[in-house]
Chain A
Amino acid sequence: MRRLLTLLLLLLGTALPAAAQSGPSASFPYTLKTDRLPNGLTVVRVPYPSQGIIAYLTVVRVGSRNEVEPGKTGFAHFFEHMMFKGTKKNPEGARERIMGTFGFDDNAFTADDVTVYYSYGPAAGLPQLIEIEADRFQNLEYAEPSFQTEALAVLGEYHKNAAAPFLKMEEELNAAAFTRHTYRHTTMGFYEDIKAMPQAYEYSKTFFERWYTPDNTMLFIVGDFDDAKVMQLVRENYGPWNRKAATVKVPAEPPQSSPRTAHIDWPQPTQPRMVLAWRTPAASVDTMDAALQTVLVDYLTGPTSPAYKSLVLDKQLVERIGSDFSEHRDPHLFTLTATLKDERHRDTVRLALLKEVSNLAAGRVDAARVKAIQDHARYGTLMSLQTPRDVGIQLAWYAGILGTPDGLQRHLQNLTKVTPGQLQEFTKRYLTANRLIVLSLTPKTAGAGGTK
């Protein structure tokens, strides 16, 4: 699957003209001006009336999915931290001084498939920003002690996240769902691997060489600026970047032939929880799969769904229901989640959610609700794009997952095309009993000697 996807993207890349423009639509009222430099770097500018504020995003198509070597999980995320450690020209601390002079909000995040860097602040700082960004993506350089110290900050991040059950649940669900694919570990990585990170200095350099390449990276610049000047600076500064992305094989996950379960006994007071998960197709520009799953989330668990009305509002058996679905490059999971009020209602809630799934599979689809979900998506997108940063992050996310700069627009278009028949077909095909994975979490109780 992964090789096919790469091949498609390569074909797509060569087929694309060196410059393209795509206009506004009902739910995305902005224009993308896209150029591709000879070294393969895609550069997208989005005019946005922001009165002197810009957002500058770099999306690298690398995430925990790329962590194929044993013992090196969590590295994409750790590496994101290291990207702030400087170069020969701008050693550690120089970035803070340059960015600080202008007041940029400067940060990054890592997910399973992508790493996104963003700087958000005054357009006046763009020339310096382009220079320092181009420099670090080409010439990152850090000493081993600095690397070792940063590994401890990552451990601190893990500890911060570990107080709530979510991280453990994600770890257990992934372990149940994936036996070979790198989605088996979370983006944070296995705890043991995080603790061993300080020893992996040499590997970190390999990671940079492998994935931080112009053909694996896209820039998005959103806001008020002189397009010609910006493009000139981008060409000058990023032009010499000349590495090529590695081809590392991510192991394919074998099909699942029977249902699976996983359970967590949580040692502290918390609500009982449940996740129903199915392995589902990847997000791709060539299929409706991502759009269908996006609609399914609200159809099955949204605030106007029958399950929400029954379980949350009327019977009050759960605090909330929802889904952790997010778009992935390779086949990942479609989930339904429930935070229960009482352990005794676990079966009732599971059966109620599965009943909604089987209704859909049987073709009992409420077309009016599908239409309402599409309206909600259209207006919701408009409402969510309040700043250049909002626009940039959404563009970068979908571009990174789908491998094309107009990924967001394509996804939004696909949402408008979803039909009740397609939802039925998808549900019947993928949300089946044999592919189901059930994760349960039960808190420690007073009877078991717990605190409450």
Chain B
Amino acid sequence: MKTRALVSLAALLGLAGCATTPKPPVDPNAPPPAVPSTAALEQQPAQPPARPEAVPATPLRQPRPMELVVLERPDTPIVSFRLVFHTGSVDDPKGKEGLTDLTSTLMAEGGTQKLTSAQLLDALYPMAAQLSAYTDKEFTTFSGRVHKDFLPRFMDIFTDVLLNPRLDAAELERLRANAISDVENGLRSANDEALGKVALDALLYQGHPYAHYVGGTVQGLKAITLDDVKAHARRVFTQDRLVIGLAGPVDDALKQALTSRLSALPAQGAPRVELPPVPTTAGRALIVQKPTLSTAISLGYVTPVRRGDPDFYPLAFAFSHLGEHRQFLGVLFNELREKRGLNYGNYAYAENFIEDPGSTYNRTNIARTQQLHSLWIRPVVPANGVFATRGAVFFLDKLVKEGIPQERFDLMKGYLQGYTRLWEQTDQRRLGYAIDSLFYGTPNFLEEYRQALSKMTPRSVQEALRRHVHPDALNFAFVTQDAEGLAQALRSGAPSPITYASPKEQALLEQDKDISTFKLPVRPDAIQVVPAQTVMEK
């Protein structure tokens, strides 16, 4: 049986909003927002307020142009620079998706007016200095680290990357080819888990500037010219979008020198993109078809709650309890992996999450105006795809309905009092948090979180959950080989029983019955199958 294509591929996975589009494109095929909740989810005595029809784009706060954040620490010889620009893939013009990321990469790697790319590498290498750019939806970060032995030389190079980038044609071609390969060979082919997450973003933010992959679309990348890059650099890497972070053995002379040099950046450039509201769709499923041994699953919905909202802390706490990223403590990890052996891990997120390499912590400076709640189910054998999905939603639903028992609540409080300290152990991460705080209006964010933890109660957390967490609003992204089979299973709503090769306790088997018949909030008419090779094509 074939799946009806409800939403055009182009609309779903390609045509994102863009810098010059203040309103979302009207899509006559878009499903209606806010689907009624399922019977299984209607057992609360007092229903929380209905979900809004859309998540508005309440702007983040605007720090002063070139606001300086300094974390002096004389006990290290390493100086850290962190320049965070309020620009990201939302600033990519329509048809040039990937421009912001490609521009920042070309600046960081492509050399300066004085140094070719090879000479830049030669200069940085003996210092073991680090210089890199990272672009996300709304922010781009240039970070640098160097031993103080080489500070003056590194400062020249680092600031030249911003002020006098070489931007030459050969390097553009090299990095463009890499970026296209990253979509065609990396995302679509070699990383099902990343593909599932990108598909979920495309699904949740359809028609919004967040929808396209930060690294770009194949056709968007191909359309970019050197002139586009040169113009874009001057439009978005401007003083009014910049926060300057400095840490380590920093003195007044360094602060002064850095600020003074960066004041040669254009004072301002492009007007800020006006982000459209995101309709709070629910129950949609996108199945990416490709040859693979397993099924990767991501689910989520957009939420108006972000840092700065008093409810953010209890929600962050509850999602940690449900599934702190790559930790052994979460409910999903224990229920789905430890007890049932379904896969390698299962996690839950109260905001945009991108793993900081070499750690299990979230990156800093990837703030979003319009956030999401999401669950990540690592690859499962295809036969267990529906069961694992039901399991994740089942435990989310249980969390909202039943809250967190006192003993577990106390454990999680202690856990996060300690674990959150690990999030701020390096200068780059401390700077990152301090800079995020300027945009969210949350000074001393982690310290405030810890204080908030000490005041939370199971009841206050459950109230926040009931206000803002909506299992019935989930949307689903899958990556699997037998996409039609999965679509059929989802459409039918038939039970998905599971069998085990090893003995299980009776209580678990009883719970499995509830899970295997749990009604997933998937709308049979909103399931779409797309081949992997079309994802992020344009």
- Give A contacts to B, CB under 8 Å: 49-50, 52-53, 84, 96-97, 99-107, 120-122, 125, 144-145, 148-153, 155-157, 159-160, 162-165, 198, 267-271, 302-304, 308-309, 312-313, 316, 319, 341, 372, 375-380, 382-383, 386-387, 443, 451-452
Contacts and interface: CB of A to CB of B under 8 A. Distances in A.
29 contacts: A50-B425, A100-B415, A106-B328, A121-B418, A122-B418, A148-B502, A149-B339, A152-B342, A156-B337, A156-B343, A156-B344, A159-B293, A159-B379, A160-B193, A163-B292, A164-B190, A267-B291, A269-B184, A271-B181, A304-B125, A312-B174, A375-B126, A375-B127, A375-B128, A376-B127, A383-B78, A386-B425, A451-B290, A451-B533
Nearest to A145: B502
Interface string B312-330: 0000000000000011110
A282 B192 CA distance: 36
B418 A341 contact: no
A269 B416 contact: no
Q: How large is the interface on B (under 10, 10 to 19, 20 to 34, 35 or more residues)?
A: 35 or more
B152 interface: no
B184 A103 contact: no
B344 A380 contact: no
Contacts of B126: 372, 375-376, 379
B420 A103 contact: yes
A150 B343 CA distance: 9
A99 B422 CA distance: 14
Given A316-B173, A372-B126, A100 B78 contact: no
B501 interface: yes
A49 B360 contact: no
A304 B126 CA distance: 10
B294 A309 contact: no
A121 B504 CA distance: 34
Contact of B75 (A49, A84, A267): A49
B185 interface: yes
B389 interface: no
Given A97-B411, A150-B338, A270-B190, 6 more contacts: A52-B421, A107-B360, A145-B502, A157-B344, A341-B177, A376-B128
A233 B487 CA distance: 57
Contacts of A96: 328-329, 334
Interface in B256-310: 290-294
A158 to B, nearest CB: 9
A83 to B, nearest CB: 12
A108 B306 CA distance: 33
B125 A303 contact: yes
Select the residue from B75, B181, B420 with max chain A CB neighbours within 10 A: B181
Interface string B334-369: 100111111110000000000000001000000000
Interface in B402-438: 411-412, 414-422, 425-427
Interface in B103-128: 117-118, 121-122, 125-128
Which 3 pairs show the lowest CB-CB distances between chains A and B? Answer: A103-B418, A152-B341, A148-B502
A160 B378 contact: yes
B77 interface: yes
A316 B110 CA distance: 13
A270 B189 contact: yes
A220 B422 CA distance: 19
B87 to A, nearest CB: 26
Contact of B328 (A84, A268, A316, A379): A84
B442 interface: no
Interface of B: 75, 77-78, 117-118, 121-122, 125-130, 145, 147, 149, 170-171, 173-174, 177-178, 181, 184-185, 188-193, 290-294, 326-329, 334, 337-344, 360, 378-381, 411-412, 414-422, 425-427, 500-504, 531-533
Contact of B147 (A121, A312, A382): A382
A407 B230 CA distance: 49
Contacts of A451: 290, 531-533
Select the residue from A309, A379, A380 with max chain B CB neighbours within 10 A: A379
A137 to B, nearest CB: 18
Contact of B418 (A125, A309, A372, A375): A125
Contacts of A378: 128
A153 B337 contact: yes
Contacts of B177: 316, 319, 341
A122 B412 contact: no
A443 B192 CA distance: 17
B80 to A, nearest CB: 10
A100 B411 contact: yes
B334 to A, nearest CB: 8
A156 B411 contact: no
A33 B443 CA distance: 40
Contacts of B178: 319
A198 B502 contact: yes
A273 to B, nearest CB: 10
A270 B190 CA distance: 8
B379 to A, nearest CB: 5
A105 B294 CA distance: 28
Nearest to B407: A97
Contacts of A383: 78, 128, 130, 145, 147
A452 B533 contact: yes
Given A120-B422, A198-B501, A164 B191 contact: yes
A379 B118 contact: no
A198 B341 CA distance: 11
A235 B192 CA distance: 47
Nearest to A84: B328
Contacts of B125: 302-304, 372, 376
A452 B291 CA distance: 13
A68 to B, nearest CB: 27
A270 B193 CA distance: 17
Contacts of A52: 421
A151 B294 contact: no
Nearest to B170: A316
B533 A144 contact: no
A151 B174 CA distance: 43
Contacts of A302: 125
B190 A163 contact: yes
A319 B181 contact: yes
B188 A162 contact: no
A84 B128 CA distance: 38
A7 to B, nearest CB: 37
B173 A165 contact: no
A103 B422 contact: yes
B329 A151 contact: no
A216 B191 CA distance: 37
Given A96-B328, A100-B415, A313 B117 contact: yes
B105 to A, nearest CB: 13
Contacts of A372: 125-126
A50 B380 CA distance: 39
A160 B379 contact: yes
B294 A159 contact: yes
Nearest to B428: A386
A103 B189 contact: no
A149 B327 contact: no
B379 A156 contact: yes
Nearest to B188: A269
A378 B90 CA distance: 40
